[in-house]
Structures are given as structure tokens and as C-alpha cells.
Structure 1
Amino acid sequence: MLETSGRLLTLLSLLQARRDWPGALLADRLGVSPRTVRRDVDRLRELGYPVNATKGPDGGYRLAAGTDLPPLLFDDEQAVAVAVALRTGAIPGAEEGALRALATIRQVMPARLRSRLDALEVTTVRRRPERSGETVDPETLLTMGSACRAGEVVRFDYAGGTMAAVGEGEHAFHPPRRVEPHHLVTSEGRWYLVAFDLDRADWRLFRVDRMTLRSGTGPRFTPRQVPGGDVAAFVAERISGSWPSPVRGEMVLHARAVDVARWIGADGLCEPLPDVDGAPRCRVVLGSWSWGGLAGRLGGFDAPFEVVGPPELVAATRELAGRYAAAVPHGG
């Protein structure tokens, strides 16, 4: 027969393994009398575990959701943090244990947290060894997860974005982003939201740590299919240029920033400049693997441009212009 402490742990494990347990079956599994099972259940209740008695011909017990997570008594933020970490950060080879631990915590979560956690669907994309990520507000994660599942438009202010300002001077402001959220993704310590930007009519990848949510959610939407149909592949492709590039250069494009920004990578910058004679302009900073590669990217915008610097980019652009000129047959 198990000692009392060991028997309590075994009893708790059994209660977590299935919804309802007849009292006689628990007694048989533990090798004790039904009276001892009743006493052990009372001990678990004293420790804070919400074990309810079930009615029926045999009578039994059920581990119910409680207002706290005994015996550690997590607060809401701690409970969410542990659950999210178990879902997204399992050590290779320990996935099964992480899932069982997650199921254990979920079992005794308050209903208000359990429903929100269930709405948090996350895809993990691993490309390089993980690094320490930026601080993300758990409330933002839960709100975005709920909006993804419910199919509701969300609005947020986005730091570091390239949305053109409305107005001029001290009265200028950047309007909030309006998106259809589709999926939350974590990769190398960062959280991203895959969403369809309604103002740009295109898919975007937003860093969650740069978001400041506006109150309330918008209307429902019919989910679209992510380009390619594979969320992980879409994100991996979009963030492939987000790492520091060996070379960086600056140029001025004769085009609207709102049109150019969609082609700027995650490590680039695009901001509007004052018009000249009514013609739009924008400042662009890009990175690449080489000066020649960066010079080659400039022509892809299909707009006149001026190279600002550094001198290496100016030289590489001249050299590339010479190669293109030599490639065209004279008089052909």
C-alpha cells in the first residue's frame, strides 16, 4: 500500500487523467478502501484542489476548474506565461511531457483564462538558435489570439512602421493599422502576427512587441488563405531578410512611400519626403549581402532614384550601369 503522500500524488494524477472517476474504481486502483479515498480527497481539497463529488449509482469524483491554480496559486499573468511557454518552448525530446504539463494546468484553470488560452493558436518557426526576444504584453497575445479565432478586425498603433503620415508639421499623425489577423507565430525569440492589411490590400508580418492595441475589435471577416497556403513557409520567407545585412545604403526614390513600403524588407526603412514640383519622393534605407547586390535592388522599384551613399554604393551603381549599357547591342 502506498504511503499517504505518495498515494495523494497518485490520486491527483488519476483525477487529472480523465474527467470522472467512480469511487470504487479509484479505491481499487489505489489499493485502499472507499473510506480512505474520501479522506484523501478531503486532504486534496485542503491543499486547494477543487475535487467535486459526482452523483450516480456508484458515486465518484471529478477534478474541477478552480479560481486559482493550486498549490502554487498562480496569478492570471503567471498562469498564462507558463501555459504559453509550455506550448511554444518545449525542449526537443520533451514535447510529450510539456503537453501533459499543459493539460494539467489547463484542467484547473479558471474558465475565463482557459477559453482565451484555447484561442491562442501558435506556429513555431525555428531558423537559427533562439535568442532573447523583445518584451511582449501577454494581454496583447491573448487579444490577438482571440481575434484570430473569432475572425475579427483589429486596430493598433505600430512603432517603426512605414505608413505615410496624415497631415503636416506638428499636426501630422500616423493612422492606426487595420488588419484581419490570421495567425500568431514565434520565431527566434520574437512574436509575429500574420495579417491582411486592409489599407494596403496586402499580407503583412507585424512584430507583436511593436503593437499598441486600440480598444475594441472590428467587424467579422471571412478568412483568406495565406499566400502559398503554409503559414510557417510564409513567415520564414518574410523574415529571411530581417537579420543585420553586411552592407547598408541610402537612396531617394521618386515614388510615394505608401507604394514603396510594401517592397521593403523587415530590415529596411521607408519614409515620405516633401514633394518636389508636385512629384512624390521617399527616403529608403536598404541592406544586402554586397554593394553590387544592393545596387541591383534599386532597379526593382521601377522608379527614378538618386543614390545618397555611402561612396561604395555610388561606385557599385556606376559599375552596374556600365554593365547594363555594355549588354545592350549598339543600334539594336
Structure 2
Amino acid sequence: MAATSARTLKLLSIFGLGATLTAAELATRLGASVRTVRRDIDTLRDLGYEIEAVRGAGGGYRLGRATRLPPVVFDEDQAVATAVALQTVPTVLSGIRENAARALATLHQAMPARSRLHAEAFTVSSARNYWEFPAPPIDAEIVRAVGSAINRQHLVRVDYTGDGEPATLTLEPHDLVVWAARWYLVAFDPNANRWRAMRVDRFTPHMPTHTPFERRDIPHGDPVAFVMAAHDRGDAAAEWQCRGSAILALPASTVARFAPGGSTVEYDTETTCRLTLGAWSWPGLAGLLLTFDADITDLEPAELRQALRSLRTRISRGLEPVGGQRGGDGPLVSDRAAAPAS
């Protein structure tokens, strides 16, 4: 009986992936006969799970939408993943901490001892490293309002505070993307006739519009890639001890993809952009600029220029062979525009 119950739970876990599988495919995964699989499917149906039989080419069995809510069953890996997610969600959503804590406590109580030990090994604390400057947790109600409009494929109307004056916008919402602990909406703006990546924490949603729209093809074919390449996605320069900027000889879309959290990228020309960023020290800020491996000009402020000169001196000294003779390559850093060209 124990083996039968374990097999049935594993079958339910397989159905939970959302795939449509034949009885033979299910039997292979379970290491059982096709007849046994069909008997286990009947057991799940008796427990209230709606297991649909799909006929025709590509048919098989799949988990449908049950008319009543049966017990939810996780295997060990799913339970651990859920526990980790419940711990991390308050770092990106506000107003949900207490509910997440209660759900995590319920999950821990239902876990077998071994699964609970595995889950507790993933205990998560939130901390900011020196390189990223994530946004504060966003109100869960804002995400719910925008996500609901996406799911229903309805226009969304929001007050948006971007780089300029606050504006009221009507948007075609396509996807929500979480990147570098920030929430972004990928939307088409019909009034401006362009795609936009926008910070959701700067939204104040209006009442639902209930107005449908037709989905469009997202640039790059991927909402995540679109957000990462959008230099005008609404990021703001973070308050660091040292903050400066420079013109980089790279397209804005390239720099936006790799710019540290809490930095801004401004379009300059098709092949150049201005990057504004911060760090805990002027040498640290200079080092971040050099990681882009591109010519840099128009550096501000003076402290940043001096830090680059100091780095140039140290690098040149480090390249000198024993005995003080400079190698044939000469210094790595040019004096052009009072800044190194990596």
C-alpha cells in the first residue's frame, strides 16, 4: 500500500508539470506497467483530481482544472523550492511578508523531517552587495493589478512617475519581468506608438479598464532581453558615497544590459552613451568604468579623473620588469581626453 501511495503521489507530481503524456510515457517514468498507470489515474480521479484524456495525435493524459480543490501534493524538491520562494518573495514585494511567513510555517509543518532539513538548509537572508543597488520591495497590490490586466489581456491605465513629469498612461501590458530585484512592465504605448520597459514601483494603477487588446510580437522576441537592453527603463542613479559619469564608446542598449544596479544610461549617439553610476570609492568607480572595455571620454567629476590617473600609474608600475626597465608595450593607458582607453 505504501508503494502504491508513493507511486500515485509521484504520478500527481508529473502531471503537475502541465505536460500531456501517454500512458506508455507515464509508465516509463514510474517504472510500472501501463495497466498500473491507468489504475493510479483512476485513484487520482477518485480523490478529486480532474485527469483529462486527450485523444488524437499528441494525445494522452493531463491534469485539468478541478471543479473542487483537492489536496495539494509536493514532492521533496518542489517543497524545498516553494520554501525558498516564500522566504525570498518579501524582498521584492511589500505587504506580503506575514502571509508568506504563515504559508512557510504551514509548509514546514506538513513536510517530512528529511524535507524540512533540506528546506532549512536554504534559509535566506536579504543583503545588498557592493555592486547592486536593488529597489525597495514593491507593493504586492500594484503587481496584482498589473498582472491581472496582463492575464485578462486588458488595457491598463496608470499614473507613472518616470524621469520627467508624472503622466497618466494607457498601456497594452504584455509581461512582467523581475531583474536585479526590480519589477518592470513590458508594454506597448499606443499613444507614443512604441514599446516601453517601465519600473512598476513607479505606477499608481487606476481602476480596471476591461478594454481588450490584441497581443503584439515583443522586440527581441523575449521580454527579459527587451528589458535588459532598454536604456530608458526608468532606473535612477543610487545614492553612493562616490558618483560620476562618462561617455562610453558603446551603444546604450549594450551598456544598459551590463550596467550595475543603481546606474543610469543615457542615449548619446548610435554608438555612444553616457553612463552615470556610483561606488564606495573613486578607484572602485573607475574600475567599474574600465570593465566595459571601451574608450571613455568626458569624465565627471575631477575626483574620478584623478582616480583613473592613479590607476594608470599603478598599472604602468606593475608592468615594469624587474630592474625598472619599461617593457616594449608601454603604458596601457592613454592621456587622450584625460582618461584611459582600455
The TM-score normalised by the length of structure 1 is 0.39
TM-score by length of 2: 0.38
